[in-house]
Amino acid sequence: MHYRRLGGSGLQVSALGLGTNAFGKRANAKDSKRVIDTAIELGITFLDTANIYARTASETILGEALLGRREHVILATKAGLPTGDGPYDRGSSRHHLMRELEGSLQRLQTDYIDLYQIHTFDPDTPLEETLRTLEDMVSSGKVRYIGASNYAAWELMKALGISDRLALPRYVSMQTSYSLADRTPEQELVPLCLDQGVGIIPYFPLAGGILSGKYTSADQIPSGSRADTDPNFTRFLQDGALTLGQQLAELAEERSYTPSALALAWLMHQPAVSSVIVGATRPEQLLENAASLEIELDDELMQALDELSAETRYGKPFAVYRL
């Protein structure tokens, strides 16, 4: 396993991280624990979850699976997206964040979060309030580092400017949709993060499985796939992404790689990327994705990947989650 600094911080994270969105939803507790065990055996130390994943089940499963070995991993969670329909069930106000942090700590069975992330920008809460709340969390020892997710570049820069002006903790990381199927962060977000020392943590690095080559058309859904278990995901099965997935599969076959491993390796070679989080419902998927760590991308292959995906740099984001 390779380890990298998270942005400009001193925190080291594994180049390949484990995303746990499927835990408690597409993977039961037993299967999820097998995936966690495999991840730790592979040297994956960065585990990412959120308070809303599987309606809190993901955090609960992680907490139980990490008993006795919590100190060996970097645990990241998030808050801010809706947890219910009430007026206090969303956003990044002090009221909401304080409540959600305590809930996450209980479910994760820990007394601190390594990386606490604001899940999306809250237009109704002043950034000063959010950042001062996060400062209190850090000062209390319950949070060690803070990060953002789904912020536009100007929103992230505004937050960093406020932190610098008021001597508040800075966001050290940014989660965003980023993959060969979505290179829109390269327009503004990547240059900003490089300039400001913010580490990018891509989500949907395989475009929800589209870059694995498993989807040949929107009408042929593989059994057990994300689109099969979550009908809402079919909205992502657009012609452009599906074509890219098939082209990537052909290129990977020429080089004797799997398309998933090749897509992940490309992301790991992008500037500002600190850790690429991938989900898994079976240990075998994780082992396949770990092969990305051994791929060396030569100039010819990088150029081929760049040409295949060039249009996605200027298209619409593959995914973005906002209030």
Residues 243-280 pLDDT 10s: 999 999 999 999 999 999 999 999 999 999 999 999 99
pLDDT at position 170 over 80: yes
| pLDDT higher than 80, residue 150 | yes
Residue 166's pLDDT band, with cuts at 50, 70 and 90, is very high
Q: pLDDT at position 257, please?
A: 97
C-alpha to C-alpha distance for 178 and 267, rounded to whole angstroms? 8
Which pLDDT score, from 0 to 100, does residue 223 have?
A: 65
**Model confidence band, residue 237 (pLDDT cutoffs 50, 70, 90):** confident
Res. 234: pLDDT tops 90: no
Examine the pLDDT at 125 and tell me if it is beyond 70: yes
Instruction: Give the Cα-Cα-Cα angle 110, 113, 116 (nearest 5 degrees).
Output: 150
Active site residues: 53
- Is 318 in contact with 182 (CB distance < 8 Å)? yes
3-state secondary structure of 65: helix
pLDDT at 238 over 90: no
Which CATH architecture best describes the domain 3-313? Alpha-Beta Barrel (3.20)
CA distance 172 to 57: 27
User: How far is the C-alpha of 96 from the C-alpha of 110, rounded, in Å?
Assistant: 20
Number of H helices, E strands in the chain: 11, 10
Full DSSP string of 234-255: GGG--HHHHHHHHHHHHHHHHT
Q: Could you tell me which residues come within 8 angstroms of residue 16 by beta carbon, excluding any fewer than 6 positions away?
A: 1, 42, 44, 46, 264, 268, 275, 276, 278, 289, 290, 292, 293
Whether the CB-CB separation of 263 and 205 falls below 8 Å is answered with: yes
The model's pTM: 0.95
Q: In this predicted structure, what is the pLDDT of residue 161? A: 98
Residue 239's pLDDT is what? 76
Average pLDDT, the chain: 95
Is pLDDT at 15 greater than 70 in this prediction?
yes
pLDDT confidence tier of residue 1, bands split at 50, 70 and 90: very high
Mean pLDDT of 22-32: 96
The residues, ordered by sequence, that sit 6+ positions from 78 with a Cβ below 8 Å of its Cβ are 49, 50, 51, 52, 116, 117, 118, 119, 149, 175
Determine contact, residues 180/312, Cβ cutoff 8 Å: yes
Give yes or no for a contact between 73 and 40, defined as CB atoms under 8 angstroms apart.
Answer: yes
pLDDT of residue 264: 98
Is the confidence at residue 229, as pLDDT, over 80? no
Single out the residue of 245, 222, 246 nearest to residue 234, CA to CA: 222
Share of the chain above pLDDT 70, in %: 94
Residue corresponding to tokens 């897509």? 263
Residue entry with tokens 């789904």? 150
Model confidence at 221: pLDDT above 90: no
Mean pLDDT of 303-315: 96
Structure-model confidence comparison of residues 309 and 220, the more confident one:
309
Alpha carbon 187 to chain centroid, angstroms:
19
